[in-house]
Structure 1
């Protein structure tokens, strides 16, 4: 199962379309972790599981989404409501409350992937305004054989193979 994860595109549309088209044959799901700054009907975010970010004015986006994918429970949030720029503790508590295995979030524009108390946290960075890196990043998460294989892509250069990671997941 392959999942494309983006966040913080802040009004970009062509870039989202390019990313979708580039990976359409290899992905099963697409997630946008908020701050698209687009309307719910915009074709650039069509088919995305999407949440509302602090810069989104679209009221119909949910604050969070719980999605079962390939036997794993994913929590998708933007992150501003949990203070992710300062700590992941509040978001970790929310993930524990919901029994989420994987947490996808944005807000900080900082690329990061880590396991906290057995839960996988993924921030794909930003394809618009990255922080702490110059690369405009997004992630493809591959779920296979109780492992999460993380591939990080830079919008213009493609896969950053030196950042590829593999994490064990609980057996489902």
Structure 2
């Protein structure tokens, strides 16, 4: 099975009453964080999880927690 057939571009699920949106973060222009926010702009979530940039991030925008776990190996532009 092809990767893109198995995993959607974005997904939505609930865990312990928390609404969670997940998105890889790829795209053009804007920051990865902004693209993740705009992907779910018409929906209300407790948490948005995204990646792509490999740069860890944990912060709130209004009442939504934005979380990028970063990368365990390739830190890209960050010092090691």
Same fold, TM-score > 0.5, yes or no: yes
User: 2:39 maps to which residue?
Assistant: 94
Rg larger in structure: 1
Alignment of 1:5-16 (within 5 A): none
Separation in 1 of the partners of 2:52 and 2:61?
A: 19
Alignment of 1:73-84 (within 5 A): 73-81=19-27
Q: Aligned in 2, Cα 1:82/1:102: closer, same or farther, shift over 3 Å?
A: farther
Separation in 1 of the partners of 2:16 and 2:36?
A: 22
What is the CA deviation profile of residues 83-140 of structure 1, one whole-angstrom value per residue up to 9, with x for unaligned ones?
56x2533422333312111011100010111101211000001012013142xxxxxx
2:33 is the counterpart of 1:114: no
Structure 2: give runs of 5+ residues left out of the alignment.
none
Separation in 1 of the partners of 2:25 and 2:53?
A: 8
Separation in 2 of the partners of 1:96 and 1:103?
A: 11
User: 2:16 maps to which residue?
Assistant: 70
Instruction: Give me the TM-score of the superposition, normalised by structure 1.
Output: 0.40
Runs of 4+ in 1 over 4 A off after TM superposition: none
Separation in 2 of the partners of 1:119 and 1:82?
A: 23
Q: Aligned in 2, Cα 1:87/1:108: closer, same or farther, shift over 3 Å?
A: closer
Q: Displacement, 1:65?
A: 1.0
Structure 1: give runs of 5+ residues left out of the alignment.
1-39, 41-56, 135-172
Separation in 2 of the partners of 1:64 and 1:98?
A: 12
Question: RMSD across aligned C-alpha pairs, in angstroms?
Answer: 2.3
Instruction: Give me the TM-score of the superposition, normalised by structure 2.
Output: 0.78
